[in-house]
Structure 1
Amino acid sequence: MSGAGTADGSGTRVSPGAAGGPVTDVLTFGETMAALRGSGPLRLGGTMELSVAGAESNVAIGLARLGHRVRWAGAVGDDEAGELVLRTLRAEGVDVALASRDAGAPTGLLLFEPRLPDVTRVHYYRTGSAGSRLTADAVERAFTAGGPPRVLHLTGITAALGEAPRAACERALRLAREHGTWVCLDVNHRSRLWSRDEAAAVLRSWAPYADVLIASDDELPLCLGPSDGPVADLPSQAKELLGRGVSEVVVKLGARGATAYTAQGELHFPARPVRAVDPVGAGDAFVAGYLSALLDGVDAAGRLDRAVTCGAFAVAGRGDWEGAPTRAELGLLGEGDGTVVR
């Protein structure tokens, strides 16, 4: 049997595999903001480029470019910035039919301020935004309108926005379990939004719901809960998470590539060498590539291959999502080489 959103008779989830009909491949939601990129120090003024940015919508766009059916069920304000968000996602082939417009709150704003060749400061204006008031209603509709998705993608960012978005995420996790939908959880810790202890308290309870748990090496301990003791090595952390019910633990290592841990063992894939222009959005492109290959039924080595390939495309260009590749472009970086098995 194949296709997430189905069960194997015992009520357990099964691998997404190939789709059997026009269902949603991936459902995600969160806060997408209007994004302004400065040409230099903000206090000096100058020109700014307007776009949109948000981890979950970055992943949605990346998956849509790779040919998957993606639904984004986030919230924006009833304003021009919100219209920009929805227009951009629609233009990239993302289904926004269930996105909500909040007339009582603005769309969030994000400012990027380049300070050094490799350092960009980020300024958030998202307190009281529409995204911080997201409720579970949109999640409920997304699981009933057109049938449940094959994969639910969540990040820790949405949980950090407030009690209502956190409750929406937790409702989505329960619905995914009820419907046999696979869950991908990307930790994506934002220290500007919540502390490590706050994040750990939430993520520890979420981790057992995840089929695929993705984190950078410094984020992975958050999924094991608050701790005052020494941090175990990555294989030990991954083994503990696998013991708690996670099927795959994927650790992003930046320029060193990525490692996947499963019950079958450990698999590492090096990063693809490209001239790095902008690291913003690389992690989201990585996730999109990994989920794309998972949906295609590709093995673990192929999933890591596509993930690091998409991440390389992202760092080679500017913007949160603009550099994400199409499926036809994957071969430009030689997808299919470089696996290292341990």
Structure 2
Amino acid sequence: MDVITLGETMAMFSPDTMGKMRYASQYSRKFAGAETNVAIGLQRLGFQTGWISRVGDDEFGKGLIHFVRGEGVDVSQVQADSRAPTGLYFKEIRHEQDVYVYYYRAGSAASRMSADDIQETYIAQTKYLHITGITPALSESCFQAVMQALRFAEKYRVPVVFDPNIREKLWDSKQQARERLGQIAKQADIILPGVSEARYLFGDASLEQYAQRFMEKGASTVILKEGSKGAHFFTKDSHGFVPSYPVERVVDPIGAGDGFAAGLIAGLLEGLPLEERVAKGNAIGAIVTTVNGDVEGLPDADELARFTQVKKGDVDR
């Protein structure tokens, strides 16, 4: 296995029209979650991924498993829970630059994940473990599941990629978020925060200071994302900036960060230099914004190559 991830994926409802959700009468049902977005993005680029989670033993849960399995992701570690439902969320696209997300996930099956759901042999056989800051915020048992996965990763020297992906409303307090995300950061080799997330964790500081704070916790590489501007990368011996790829029209920005993570990890697996890994992440993040839906815009290798060639041609002209 190239990459294993764990977390909640939900049934997602997107209105067929723009505007406030109160006026929407028809919705398209899709499936999405940060961790499966990354797993599916990597699968489309030719890598093997696995996902650990729980879903409700209901029609949404069954459809979700079929969907993720259909994308090639291993779902052998996903349990159907008859005592809790599959989570739901709704998108509200007021206009292309104004997207809201409403979650109905309290008490969901995924929030009942625990350390017992993490199989040592499963973590031991992967090349990378991908973790987000969403999963540990879902419940105490989910936090313990993440920490168990990290312990197994450390035992078998599996590098950890950590995307803080902060969802402030899921945490009991800012202090709890800072403490627990800090604990996870100590176990991570590569950290992918947005600049606003670094500010949430550490307060006002320079980009260099943010990177230093993360590296003091043990990270070897820190990527600070600035959305449509691009991303800054930092290691002990180097730092730099890779501009993003401009797109003519942003249709749906949700999922761009997960696309970035998929591209960066793909570059890791391919052995690319750090700057090229970041560029691949930027490219996939940009592509994702051009399509409505979290995974619908994730490219395969040919689509990614065409996009970067076209954009390079635009720059050269």
Structure 1 counterpart of 2:77: 98
User: Shift of the alpha carbon at 1:174?
Assistant: 0.8
Residue 218 in structure 1 maps to residue 191 in structure 2: no
Single out whichever of 110-119 and 165-174 deviates more from structure 2. Answer: 110-119
- Indicate conservation of the 8 Å contact 1:207/1:223, yes or no: no
Structure 1 counterpart of 2:265: 291
Say which of 135, 160, 164 aligns to 2:141.
Answer: 164
Q: Percent identity?
A: 39
Cα 1:146–1:203 change in 2 (3 A) is closer
- Indicate conservation of the 8 Å contact 1:32/1:53, yes or no: yes
SS at match of 1:111: strand
SS at match of 1:319: coil
In 2, Cα distance between the equivalents of 1:145 and 1:185?
A: 19
Cα 1:150–1:184 change in 2 (3 A) is same
Single out whichever of 305-314 and 213-222 deviates more from structure 2. Answer: 213-222
In 2, Cα distance between the equivalents of 1:114 and 1:237?
A: 32
In 1, Cα distance between the equivalents of 2:289 and 2:160?
A: 26
In 1, Cα distance between the equivalents of 2:312 and 2:159?
A: 28
Aligned-partner residue type, residue 79 of structure 2: S
Alignment of 1:162-311 (within 5 A): 162-194=139-171, 195-224=173-202, 231-275=204-248, 276-311=250-285
- Structure 2 length-normalised TM: 0.93
- Indicate conservation of the 8 Å contact 2:99/2:252, yes or no: no
User: Shift of the alpha carbon at 1:332?
Assistant: 1.5
Cα 1:221–1:42 change in 2 (3 A) is closer
Say which of 275, 279, 290 aligns to 1:316.
Answer: 290
Aligned-partner residue type, residue 51 of structure 2: W
Alpha carbon RMSD of aligned pairs, Å?
1.7
In 2, Cα distance between the equivalents of 1:243 and 1:191?
A: 24
Post-superposition Cα deviations, 1:81-126, rounded to whole Å, max 9, x if no partner, equal 0011111111111110111110000000001122233212211110
User: Shift of the alpha carbon at 1:148?
Assistant: 2.3
Q: Which runs of 5+ in 2 are unaligned?
A: none
User: Shift of the alpha carbon at 1:223?
Assistant: 5.0
Q: Which runs of 5+ in 1 are unaligned?
A: 1-23, 225-229
Say which of 91, 96, 99 aligns to 1:117.
Answer: 96
- Indicate conservation of the 8 Å contact 2:96/2:252, yes or no: no
- Indicate conservation of the 8 Å contact 1:248/1:260, yes or no: yes
In 2, Cα distance between the equivalents of 1:221 and 1:206?
A: 17
Post-superposition Cα deviations, 1:193-231, rounded to whole Å, max 9, x if no partner, equal 12433211111122121110011001124555xxxxx62
In 1, Cα distance between the equivalents of 2:193 and 2:182?
A: 13
Aligned-partner residue type, residue 324 of structure 1: L
Structure ranking higher in helix proportion: 2
- Structure 1 length-normalised TM: 0.86
